[in-house]
Amino acid sequence: MKATDLLKKQHKQVKTLFKKVEKTENPRERRQLMDQIDQELKMHTRIEEQIFYPAVRGIETKKAEEMVMEALEEHHVVDLVLAELPKVDPADERFHAKMTVLSELVEHHVDEEEEEMFPMAEKKLGAEELKALGAQMEQMAGMSGRGRKAA
């Protein structure tokens, strides 16, 4: 699969999880969904940071470099929120607010990737390279996805 399509697919999966977690008040379900969001976001940002962003950087324009730097900072903020999750009580009334903030953060970031970074990458990297990157990503996603399915 083309690298950008694979990343967009992962974006959709995370968005679906956010919608689900918004709808439930069951603490057990909330905890499960929160763990899943944590895992999927971590895997996704790792794939981007190790495979996709370096390729975008390789375009070697000022714009590409700026986009990657900003994206990395946003990942950093997402990481900070994710690091707090183990302390979040799914039965607490603040749970919903916390998830909403994380979801909005991710949504903003995803919009910038899909509206700016991905179209630029598709234009500059070419079909071959996008396919090769996609294959690398699939491999990495497969490796980290195995054996840690939520109970």
**Gyration radius of the chain over CA positions:** 16
Q: Residues binding Fe ion: what is the number (CB under 5 A)?
A: 2
- Give the range of 30-38, 109-117, 121-129, 138-146 binding Fe ion by CB under 5 A: 109-117
Question: Considering the complex, what minimum distance in angstroms separates the CB of residue 72 from Fe ion?
Answer: 9
- Give the range of 24-32, 93-101, 112-120, 128-136 binding Fe ion by CB under 5 A: 112-120
Site string (50-89) toward Fe ion, x via CB under 5 A: ----------------------------------------
Question: Considering the complex, what minimum distance in angstroms separates the CB of residue 48 from Fe ion?
Answer: 5
**3-state secondary structure labels for all residues of the chain:** CCHHHHHHHHHHHHHHHHHHHHHCCCHHHHHHHHHHHHHHHHHHHHHHHHHHHHHHHCCCCHHHHHHHHHHHHHHHHHHHHHHHHHHCCCCCCCHHHHHHHHHHHHHHHHHHHHHHHHHHHHHHHCHHHHHHHHHHHHHHHHHHHCCCCCC
40 is a contact residue toward Fe ion (CB under 5 A)? no
- Give the range of 33-41, 56-64, 95-103, 113-121 binding Fe ion by CB under 5 A: 113-121
Of the two residues 29 and 49, which places its CB atom closer to Fe ion in the complex? 49
Contact 121, 130 (CB under 8 A): yes
48 is a contact residue toward Fe ion (CB under 5 A)? yes
Residues that bind Fe ion (CB under 5 A): 48, 113
